């Protein structure tokens, strides 16, 4: 079957989740004192808050929980939950007020203390910030972030680079800290004017991970440029770009490098350095599947450095992933026009509009962007993707063709554009052009499983090039053995070749992997019919109907259920 491939500490999360278990009994206990009307009101607000949280409407959830908290002044767990929701919603002024009584209490004290620490740093009170760090328990989140934050605070207060680096050195023995320790050591040395030491630290950080974080790449390239080593800076960016060809950040950095403008360290002060710590933590929590906690750290980074647009972009990305596209649009639109992320943010606005079902507005955004940068293929590429999702195939073809006219022959993503165009052409029933485009993509990526599958299935579905299609799909199955769509393709090419018994075996496996897919169930029904298992065939066809398909397919399936496979008006397998 064709498949279109689209592009922590747990203590904090556990503290939030634990409230769901404990708060309801607390509310029930208050009801036992005969205070029926307030309790009913509290129940309603609590349930509304839980619902809002379930749909990731964190601002509304925080508001509802705050109402309940006013009625339950002694319910500590409820106050913790309200604080976490408030901070996750980016309502930091309110969260700071809520954090005061919580700092130093229970599991959530880490989050509350860090919010208060960031507030102290924003106010320029390093001693208060250090006091907040000193009050935190050892271990957990504080084990790694604590020394790095302390390094920046000490350097900001005393200007003592040795004392700051001693804090960094204290966690170097911890496994997996090579990137964070060397990166922040480099940022500190860079700010202190010790460029040789900064370079050593950045280069050590660059090799600590197979793919270094782009913020580290920016810091290293910034230093190289200030050292006059333009060639080395360009090589670093080119290497990163080869791995991330669609990164607008990389392209902007390369444009800036060519313009040869002067620049400065990415951390220009101690609060900037602390903001980098919070931003790094936000990215880490997001990757670990803790988006609400990630939002807290993202907002803290922005509190300390409001112009840290990469943190703002991350917040928008998290909100979008939580289904809060309307809020994500606001965050993306707030990114300054001078930022390298501005262009990508505008394209993300279009994607978020599409996610809200406002496809025509999204088309307008992308069309305007394509007009603004007549050399840039990406807005048209995204427009093609949007039209493909909307199944507006002819418009997708036009957009992809426009993107191809703009893309450089050496661009690493050229093959993906041919692949996408091939899909749109095939769906719009221009097979010869589709085949040519898919073959161009395959020439560049001969081992790409989804490309092998798509072209192989297309051939099999038409009953052509069956031997070649089978070989391609078998290779795709080797690369993705648990992908139900690809396993279905193997069953279908065997079916089209008349090898029904073998087809049944693979199609049964495909149904196990994708039990509710109507096309796969329909395929298995056809194979069952051809091996004489007519009752099972009708059962599979009935399942295919129950899982939904288009009207034309439904009519064909109903005919097969009523009259058997032979009543279909279709080419015989192998024709």
Please give the structure tokens belonging to residue 338.
């001078």
pLDDT at 136: 85
Contact 490, 506 (CB under 8 A): yes
Contact 383, 361 (CB under 8 A): no
Overall average pLDDT of the 124-150 stretch: 89
The alpha carbon of 331 is separated from its chain's Cα centroid by a whole number of angstroms, namely: 16
* Residues 489-507: tens digit of each pLDDT: 999 999 999 999 999 999 9
pLDDT at 9: 33
Using CA atoms, how far residue 277 sits from 118, 158, 305, 423, in Å, is 11, 19, 11, 43
Rounded to 10°, the helix 484-496/518-530 angle is 30
- How sure is the predictor about 574, in pLDDT bands with cuts at 50, 70 and 90? very low
Residue 259: CB atoms within 10 A of its CB come to 7
- pLDDT higher than 60, residue 118: yes
The closest of 533, 450, 543, 461 to 495, measured between CA atoms, is 461
Beta-carbon contacts of residue 364 (< 8 Å; ≥ 6 apart): none
267: three-class secondary structure by DSSP: coil
Rg of the chain over CA atoms, in angstroms? 29
Residue 433 to residue 420: CA distance in whole angstroms: 12
Contact 415, 246 (CB under 8 A): no
Contact 3, 454 (CB under 8 A): yes
The DSSP string of 213-266 is -HHHHHHHHHHHHHTT-HHHHHHHHHHHHHH-TT-HHHHHHHHHHHHT-----S
Residue 482: CB atoms within 10 A of its CB come to 10
At residue 414, φ and ψ (nearest 5 deg) are -60, -40
Among 341-345, 429-433, 443-447, 529-533, where is mean pLDDT lowest? Answer: 341-345
Please give the structure tokens belonging to residue 108.
């959530």
Specify the DSSP class assigned to residue 377: S
Residue 182 to residue 160: CA distance in whole angstroms: 18
H, E, C per residue of 323-338: CCHHHHHHHHHCCCCC
- pLDDT higher than 60, residue 415: yes
Give the dihedral sign, CA 440/444/450/455: positive
The closest of 571, 568, 570, 573 to 557, measured between CA atoms, is 568
Residue 86 to residue 60: CA distance in whole angstroms: 9
At residue 92, φ and ψ (nearest 5 deg) are -70, -35
* Residues 342-368: tens digit of each pLDDT: 999 999 999 999 999 999 999 999 999
Contact 263, 245 (CB under 8 A): no
Task: Indicate the pTM of the whole model.
Answer: 0.80
Residue 387 to residue 383: CA distance in whole angstroms: 6
Helices (H), 480-550: 484-496, 500-513, 518-530, 534-547
Contact 353, 361 (CB under 8 A): yes
* Cβ burial 125-162 (10 Å sphere, 16+ → b, else e): ebeebbebbeebeeebbbebbbbbbbbbbbbbbeeebe
* Residues 48-100: tens digit of each pLDDT: 888 887 888 888 888 888 888 887 877 888 888 888 889 899 999 999 998 88
Would you say how long the chain is, in residues? Answer: 575
Residue 5: exposure state from Cβ atoms within 10 A (0-12, 13-18, ≥19):
middle
- pLDDT higher than 60, residue 426: yes
Please give the structure tokens belonging to residue 390.
């909307």
- pLDDT higher than 80, residue 159: yes
The chain-wide mean pLDDT, for the chain, equals: 87
Residue 146 to residue 170: CA distance in whole angstroms: 11
Residue 536 to residue 519: CA distance in whole angstroms: 16
- pLDDT higher than 50, residue 378: yes
Using CA atoms, how far residue 244 sits from 19, 214, 411, 447, in Å, is 41, 10, 11, 19
125: three-class secondary structure by DSSP: coil
Please give the structure tokens belonging to residue 490.
């193997």
Specify the DSSP class assigned to residue 209: S
The alpha carbon of 253 is separated from its chain's Cα centroid by a whole number of angstroms, namely: 22
List of domains in the chain: 8-104+111-129 (no CATH), 358-445 (1.25.40.10), 448-575 (1.25.40.10)
């Amino acid at each position: 079957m064709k498949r279109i491939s689209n592009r922590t500490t747990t203590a904090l999360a556990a503290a939030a989740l634990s409230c769901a278990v404990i708060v309801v009994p607390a509310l029930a206990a208050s009801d036992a004192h005969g205070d029926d009307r307030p309790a009913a009101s509290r129940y309603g607000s609590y349930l509304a808050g839980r619902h809002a949280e379930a749909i990731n409407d964190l601002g509304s959830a925080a508001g509802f929980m705050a109402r309940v908290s006013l009625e339950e002044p002694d319910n500590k767990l409820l106050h913790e939950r309200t604080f976490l929701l408030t901070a996750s919603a980016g309502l930091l002024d309110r969260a700071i007020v809520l954090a005061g009584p919580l700092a130093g209490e229970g599991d959530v004290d880490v989050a509350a203390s860090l919010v208060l620490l960031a507030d102290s740093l924003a106010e320029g009170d390093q001693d208060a910030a250090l006091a907040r760090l000193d009050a935190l328990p050892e271990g957990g989140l504080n084990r790694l972030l604590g020394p790095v934050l302390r390094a920046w605070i000490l350097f900001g207060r005393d200007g003592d680079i040795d004392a700051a680096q001693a804090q960094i050195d204290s966690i170097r023995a911890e496994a997996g800290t090579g990137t964070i320790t060397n990166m922040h050591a480099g940022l500190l040395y860079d700010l202190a004017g010790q460029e040789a030491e900064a370079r050593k630290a950045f280069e050590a950080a660059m090799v600590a991970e197979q793919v270094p974080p782009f913020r580290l790449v920016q810091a290293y390239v910034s230093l190289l440029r200030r050292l006059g080593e333009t060639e080395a800076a360009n090589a670093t960016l080119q290497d990163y770009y080869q791995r991330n060809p669609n990164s607008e950040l990389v392209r902007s950095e390369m444009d800036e490098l060519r313009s040869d403008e002067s620049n400065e360290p990415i951390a220009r002060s101690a609060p900037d350095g602390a903001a980098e710590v919070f931003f790094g933590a936000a990215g880490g929590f997001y990757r670990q599947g803790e988006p609400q906690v990630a939002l807290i750290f993202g907002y803290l980074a922005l509190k300390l450095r409001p112009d840290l647009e990469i943190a703002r972009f991350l917040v928008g990305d998290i909100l979008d992933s939580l289904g809060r596209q309307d809020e994500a649009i606001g965050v993306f639109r707030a990114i300054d026009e001078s930022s390298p992320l501005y262009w990508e943010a505008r394209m993300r606005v279009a994607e978020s509009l599409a996610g809200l079902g406002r496809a025509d507005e999204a088309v307008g955004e992308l069309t305007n962007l394509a007009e603004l940068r007549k050399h840039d293929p990406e807005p048209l590429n995204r427009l093609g993707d949007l039209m493909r999702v909307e199944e507006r195939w002819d418009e997708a073809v036009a957009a992809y063709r426009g993107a191809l006219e703009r893309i450089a022959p050496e661009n690493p993503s050229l093959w993906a554009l041919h692949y996408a165009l091939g899909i749109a052409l095939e769906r719009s029933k221009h097979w010869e052009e589709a085949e040519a485009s898919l073959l161009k993509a395959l020439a560049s990526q001969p081992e790409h499983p989804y490309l092998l599958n798509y072209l192989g299935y297309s051939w099999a579905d038409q009953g052509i090039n069956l031997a070649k299609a089978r070989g391609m799909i078998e290779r795709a199955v080797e690369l993705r053995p648990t992908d139900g769509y690809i396993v279905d393709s193997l069953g279908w090419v065997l079916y089209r070749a008349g090898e029904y018994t073998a087809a049944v075996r693979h199609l049964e496996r495909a149904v196990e992997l994708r039990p509710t897919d109507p096309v796969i169930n329909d395929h298995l029904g056809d194979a069952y019919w051809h091996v004489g298992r007519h009752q099972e065939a009708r059962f599979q066809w009935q399942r295919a109907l129950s899982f939904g398909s288009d009207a034309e397919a439904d009519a064909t399936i109903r005919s097969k259920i009523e009259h058997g496979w032979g009543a279909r008006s279709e080419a015989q397998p192998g024709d």
